[in-house]
Structure 1
Amino acid sequence: MLTRQRKELLLSRLKEDGQIVAKSLSEEWGLSEDTIRRDLRELAGEGLLQRVHGGALPLAAPLPASPAMGNFAERQQISSDAKPAIARAAAAMIKTGQMVFIDGGTTAVQLARHLPADLKCTVVTHSPSIAVELADHPLIDVIMIGGRLFKHSIVAMGPAALDAIAQIRTDIYFMGVCSLHPEQGISTGDYDEAGVKRAIAAAAHKTVVLASPEKLDTASPFQIAPMDSVGAIIVNAGVPDALLAPYRDMGIDVVLADG
């Protein structure tokens, strides 16, 4: 079979079945898997399909942009009922004596508000909003990271913030993101903010993503990290199982927050 004929058959099978499994097709057609994989790579290079592990899929439609790209005031109105439930589930993860990093963002502010009055721990943050929320907490020690204020997320950024973050090791990092997607990973709308979040995650034993519903299966311009760097995702209990299955399949702990 000529290369051109194989490629035409591959595209025809992809259209019919919606996917190509290289191993199954090699057995059916009596061809080596290497031959099938090579043809798939070339077709992907021509922009005719999407290569995935073990085969190919049709070209994906562009992922929707996250509504979390709006300014702080606008984001406070999005999923306003969902965020307190996520915050309560996150607060329940923190144990006495731990050192945790709480990110900036509207869901993170809710987390700070839901920390129990009898919780004794250390909170590190680069968010003035989080620090103010915890100023009157009787038992929580607050370490404030400084730097240039990034007004979109109300957090400190820049070289000073990165230097301070590099000196601290935390048990849990509660990360706020604009978007998360099984293949595109966790992402945000600013290049420098992505780098700061990456640095915080690198200094944490576990990263927990606070994922209000509008952020799932969306993509923002700048990747923070692939999904395999995430230890857990906290989502609302009403999110469809089909939307969460890919994350569970990666071994990520999906925590369902009840309203």
Structure 2
Amino acid sequence: MLTSQRKKAILEALARDGQVVAKALADAFGVSEDTVRRDLREMAGEGLLQRVHGGALPASPATADFAQRQSIESEAKRAVAKAAAEMVGEGQVVIVDGGTTCVQLARYLPRGLRATVVTHSPSIAIELVDHPSIEVVVIGGRLFKHSIVTVGAAALEALSHIRADLFFMGVTGVHASAGFSTGDLEEAYMKRALAAHAAETVVLASSDKINAASQYKIGEIAMASTLVVERNTPAALTDPLAAAGVSVVRA
């Protein structure tokens, strides 16, 4: 079997099964595990998959920076954001992550809502300037320009006195066995810390991020109570997540 044929078969297996195991691939192709591992390394370098111990997972396509992602407005993204905004109750303290869907969430919060929004995203804070009854608490730190959020020791320290009702989290990867992930190490630490300071974590995810993984793990699927997805997300993608105990809301 040619290298190109093996790689095509690997991508097909990833799309079908959600993961591949190097030993099983080697047996199926009749080649050594070293050959399969080389294929996986090359494919990972091309951004086609995410390598993990013993095999690989589908790679998250969410690699564009904030400005590029913000230019991609979709009805599905707005629906996810609107459904999440409707979960915020009167008088609650909520943490809102960075990201373009979370910016949409902020836009959908009712102008008369009385609540407190804690965020490490300047973009979220700016969206809420004209909401007279929403108190905005901005977490400072080093600005991670790719996502326009603050990260680092100062941001983590600022969280120590906060106890929120909800945390709305954005991710780049959602996978039943690999959990939630993102493409930056410090962002992963920050998201994990934000989740630890909220009673419940709600994850907002477009369908292209489900059954995919990025380089840095945030936590297991069980860290979230709710996953808000696009209405037309295939059940084959969401059923394993629901089986893991997450409530799936279709927007």
Aligned mates of 2:54, 2:76 — CA distance in 1: 29
Q: 1:79 to 1:245 in 2, by over 3 A?
A: farther
| Percent identity of equivalent pairs | 54
Contact 2:23 2:54 in 1 (8 A): no
Residue 214 (structure 1) shift: 1.4
- What SS is found at the alignment partner of 1:165? helix
The corresponding residue for 1:84 is 78
The corresponding residue for 1:233 is 227
> 1:76-129: CA deviations, max 9, x gaps?
244622211011100110100000000000000000000011211000000000
The corresponding residue for 2:190 is 196
Contact 2:57 2:213 in 1 (8 A): yes
Gaps of 5+ in 2: 1-20, 26-52
Contact 1:123 1:141 in 2 (8 A): yes
Q: Which among 60, 63, 71 is matched to residue 69 of structure 1?
A: 63
Aligned mates of 1:48, 1:251 — CA distance in 2: 29
Aligned mates of 2:73, 2:247 — CA distance in 1: 22
Q: Which among 78, 93, 100 is matched to residue 99 of structure 1?
A: 93
Residue 247 (structure 1) shift: 1.1
- What SS is found at the alignment partner of 1:116? coil
Q: Which among 198, 201, 205 is matched to residue 211 of structure 1?
A: 205
The corresponding residue for 2:142 is 148
Contact 2:118 2:139 in 1 (8 A): yes
Residue 251 (structure 1) shift: 1.6
Residue 139 (str. 1) matches residue 133 (str. 2)? yes
The corresponding residue for 1:108 is 102
Contact 1:166 1:199 in 2 (8 A): no
Q: Which amino acid aligns with 1:235?
A: V
The corresponding residue for 1:121 is 115
The corresponding residue for 1:180 is 174
> 1:197-217: CA deviations, max 9, x gaps?
000001110000011121111
Q: 1:74 to 1:67 in 2, by over 3 A?
A: farther
Task: Give the TM-score of the pair, scaled to structure 2.
Answer: 0.77
Aligned mates of 2:58, 2:24 — CA distance in 1: 21
Highest CA radius of gyration, 1 or 2? Answer: 1
Contact 1:117 1:137 in 2 (8 A): yes
> 1:148-191: CA deviations, max 9, x gaps?
10011100111110001122010000001111110110000011
Aligned mates of 2:155, 2:200 — CA distance in 1: 20
Contact 1:146 1:160 in 2 (8 A): yes
Number of residue pairs the alignment of both structures matches: 205
Aligned mates of 1:231, 1:60 — CA distance in 2: 29
Aligned mates of 1:212, 1:87 — CA distance in 2: 11
Residue 48 (structure 1) shift: 4.3
Aligned mates of 1:178, 1:74 — CA distance in 2: 15
Contact 1:79 1:212 in 2 (8 A): no
- What SS is found at the alignment partner of 1:104? coil
- What SS is found at the alignment partner of 1:234? strand
After the TM superposition, which of the residue ranges 98-107 and 234-243 deviates more from structure 2?
234-243
Aligned mates of 1:60, 1:154 — CA distance in 2: 34
Task: Give the TM-score of the pair, scaled to structure 1.
Answer: 0.75
- Give the alignment's Cα RMSD to 1 decimal: 2.0
